[in-house]
């Protein structure tokens, strides 16, 4: 009887589309993007085999909706991270990578779906246009930082490739459980450490470097506290 009631509640609340997207994310995580059918999604969602066709004409349209949901969620995570940025282009660039790793830890099913082969081509045109505009803005920001001398003159395509490989790789290690249980705080620590290494590079230096994200300056003691300690 419970299975009979589920679709009625879904239709009544108008959330069938969201229920189907969540079921598809679970199916992708367990069976891969090619290993499930609309009938399987319906079963996972607890609705009739015909129910998905109320919102999606076929599997491709459902996957496009999943891609859009994942892109929107990741975009919101990155927007929050960038809003807190106080440094220059390099800090903002790092914060984007840190946000992606945090996203992977918090939403592993969405992260897996976003990394499906060809997922970017499934985005609805208006969302793809926003992603393209955001990427172009980030590219221009990095180019301007190189002109100003705050980022090394590495070919930007190579720089972005290395950064993407680093943070996506770390995200996969977390999602696949290769680093054990990783809390939200630990995911941020790992991302700060990894992006810090990328920012500093591997060339030896005569003086040790410090990372303000990893080692923030300690608050200065007030004069009254200092006097009390010396009494």
Total structural domains within the chain = 2
My answer on whether 106 and 174 are in the same domain is: yes
138 and 45 assigned to the same domain: no
Has residue 184 been placed in a domain?
A: yes
Judge whether 223 lies within some domain: no
Same domain, 38 and 129: no
Q: Identify whether 77 is part of a domain.
A: yes
Give me the pLDDT at residue 13, please: 40
Are residue 38 and residue 74 in the same domain, yes or no?
Answer: no
Residue 174 is assigned to a structural domain of this protein: yes
Check whether residue 72 and residue 15 sit in a common domain. no
Segment 11-50, tens digit of pLDDT: 444 689 999 999 999 888 887 777 788 999 999 999 999 9
Query: Does 134 lie in the same domain as 103?
Result: yes
pLDDT score recorded for residue 199: 85
Statement to judge: residues 32 and 130 lie in one domain: no
Q: What pLDDT, on the 0 to 100 scale, is given for residue 221?
A: 57
Whether 52 and 89 share a structural domain: no
* Percent over 90 (pLDDT), the chain: 47
In a domain, 71, yes or no: yes
Nearest alpha carbon to residue 87 among 201, 213, 220, 215: 213
- Do 89 and 33 have their domain in common? no
Domain containing 36: what range?
A: 1-56
Q: Calculate mean pLDDT across residues 66-85.
A: 90
Q: Which pLDDT belongs to residue 10?
A: 43
Whether residue 224 lies inside any domain: the answer is: no
pLDDT score, position 139: 95
Query: pLDDT for 129-159, tens place per residue?
Result: 999 999 999 999 999 999 999 899 999 999 9
Q: Which of 9, 26, 56 is the last residue of a domain?
A: 56
Quote the pLDDT of residue 32. Answer: 74
**Of residues 98 and 221, more confidently modeled:** 98
pLDDT of residue 223: 54
Average pLDDT taken over every residue of the chain: 84
The 3-state secondary structure of 51-100, one letter per residue: HHHHCCCCHHHHHHHHHHHHHHHHHHHHHHHHHCCCCCHHHHHHHHHHHH
Taking the C-alpha atoms of residue 106 and residue 183, their distance in angstroms, rounded to an integer, is: 9
Do the domain assignments include residue 226?
A: no
Residue 41 has what pLDDT? 92
pLDDT in tens, 153-195: 999 999 999 999 999 999 999 999 999 999 999 999 999 999 9
Q: Does residue 78 fall inside a structural domain?
A: yes
Q: Does 74 share its domain with 156?
A: yes
Cα dist. 70→3, 93, 110, 182, 227 in Å? 28, 20, 5, 21, 55
Mean pLDDT of 55-82: 90
């Amino acid at each position: 009887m419970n299975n009979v009631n589920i679709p009625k509640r879904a239709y009544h609340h108008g959330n069938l589309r969201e229920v189907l997207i969540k079921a598809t994310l679970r199916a992708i995580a367990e069976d891969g993007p090619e290993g499930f059918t609309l009938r399987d999604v319906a079963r996972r969602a607890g609705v009739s085999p015909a129910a998905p066709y109320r919102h999606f004409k076929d599997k491709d349209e459902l996957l496009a909706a999943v891609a859009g949901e994942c892109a929107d969620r990741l975009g919101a995570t990155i927007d929050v991270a960038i809003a807190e940025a106080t440094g220059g282009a390099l800090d903002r660039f790092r914060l984007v990578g840190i946000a992606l790793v945090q996203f992977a830890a918090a939403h592993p099913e969405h992260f897996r779906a976003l990394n499906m082969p060809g997922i970017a081509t499934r985005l609805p045109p208006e969302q793809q246009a926003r992603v393209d505009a955001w990427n172009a803005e980030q590219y221009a920001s990095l180019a301007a930082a190189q002109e100003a001398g705050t980022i090394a003159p590495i070919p930007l395509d190579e720089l972005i490739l290395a950064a993407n490989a680093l943070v996506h790789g770390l995200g996969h290690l977390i999602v696949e459980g290769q680093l054990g249980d990783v809390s939200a705080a630990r995911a941020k620590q790992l991302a700060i450490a990894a992006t810090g290494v990328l920012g500093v590079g591997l060339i030896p230096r005569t003086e040790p470097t410090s990372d303000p994200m990893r080692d923030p300056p300690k608050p200065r003691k007030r004069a009254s506290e200092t006097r009390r300690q010396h009494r």
